[in-house]
Structures are given as C-alpha cells and as structure tokens.
Amino acid sequence: MDKRIIMTADDITLALQRIVLQVLERNQKVERLAVVGIHTCGVYLAERIVERIYDISDIEVDSGSLDITLYRDDWSSIAQSPVVKTTNIVFPVEGLNLVLVDDVVFTGRTIRAALDAIMDYGRPRSIQLAALVDRGGRELPIQPDYIGMATTVRANERIQVQLSERDDIDQVVIES
C-alpha cells in the first residue's frame, strides 16, 4: 500500500487556527455559537476548535459529538451490525449558530445524515460546516463553509486523517 503525507502536524495546527479565525469572524456573537463534531475524527477536531475559540475569546462555547450511523442512507449495506457511537448534545440547539465538524468531506452523504440527526435536537439558527480536508467528488450539493485543505484524489485513493488523540500522530495521508 502506497502512502503519502499531505498534511503534517504543523499543517493541521495552522489549518485549524485559520478555521477558528474564520468562524469567529463570521459569528460575531460567540455566545450563540456551538460546535459539534461528527464521530470519530470530527469529534477530536471539534474539541481542538473549541479550545482555540476559548484561547482567543475567553468564552466557552457549547460543544458536543454526533453519531450519524443510523441516519446514513447506506448503513444497511455497510454492515449487518453497525457500531453505534454516542451522541452527546446536552445543550438546546434551538436558535444557535452551529458549526458541524468533520475530518473529510467527500460525497456529502455523511453531512446529509448529520443534518438529519441535528434536526432531531431542534432547529439551529444556522448550520455551518467545517472540514479539515475537502476531497471533492460530491454526490450531493453540500459544500463546507470552512476547510483546512482542498485536494483531489483518484477513485482508488483514500484520505486518512490521523490524530494524536487516537493514532499518536497528527497527519493526513493519501493511501492507494
């Protein structure tokens, strides 16, 4: 298997810093902001974003995690017994500007499922999408508001986000 690194730890740090600054610029009232990460890597990225928002604004924004397994339109074809993770949204989403965080945006199907899942918790004022990597190739008309990196990969290639919280290293690689 061939692997090549497209983002180093420093690249990830810079990308998240840029995303945070853009989120703060767009959402002047940080008190009405919440950040929700999509399992699994999106949760870790969301935690990092929340920490940086606090470092800059001295405000703790609401944050949570979202499992979209049973909301996917293809869950029955992925596995006979899907592994369902925990959704942790303990704040009212009604009227908030909610930033949904995922590691890689590809077809848009994960985000469509996440939108359905979020709506079960209420109706946010807005939902914005942040992704560390946008690899293109949409099947649905979904575009991230904030991205760390945009790239195009071949059909036989896969982008793998490795984060220290899970993999003991921060990097993004393309595998073929």
Sign of the CA dihedral running 20, 97, 94, 32: positive
Structure tokens given for 45: 């990225």
**CATH fold of 3-175, please?**
Rossmann fold (3.40.50)
State the amino acid at position 30 in one-letter form: V
How far CA 98 is from CA of 44, 131, 164, in Å, comes to 16, 14, 25
Sign of the CA dihedral running 139, 140, 141, 146: negative
pTM summary value: 0.93
Q: Which residues contact 157 (CB under 8 A, 6 or more apart)?
A: 174, 175, 176
Domain boundaries, the chain: 3-175
Sign of the CA dihedral running 97, 101, 107, 113: negative
State the amino acid at position 40 in one-letter form: T
Residue-level pLDDT, tens digit, the chain, 176 residues: 799 999 999 999 999 999 999 999 999 889 999 999 999 999 999 999 999 999 999 999 999 999 998 887 665 555 555 666 789 999 999 999 999 999 999 999 999 999 999 999 999 999 999 999 999 999 999 999 999 999 999 989 999 999 999 999 999 999 99
The H-or-E segment that residue 14 falls in is: helix 9-26
- pLDDT for residue 1: 78
Q: Position of tokens 């999408």?
A: 129
Count of residues in the chain: 176
Q: Which residues contact 16 (CB under 8 A, 6 or more apart)?
A: 45, 48, 49, 52, 132, 148
- pLDDT for residue 83: 65
Sign of the CA dihedral running 40, 41, 47, 53: negative
Answer whether 37's CB lies under 8 Å from 31's CB. Answer: no
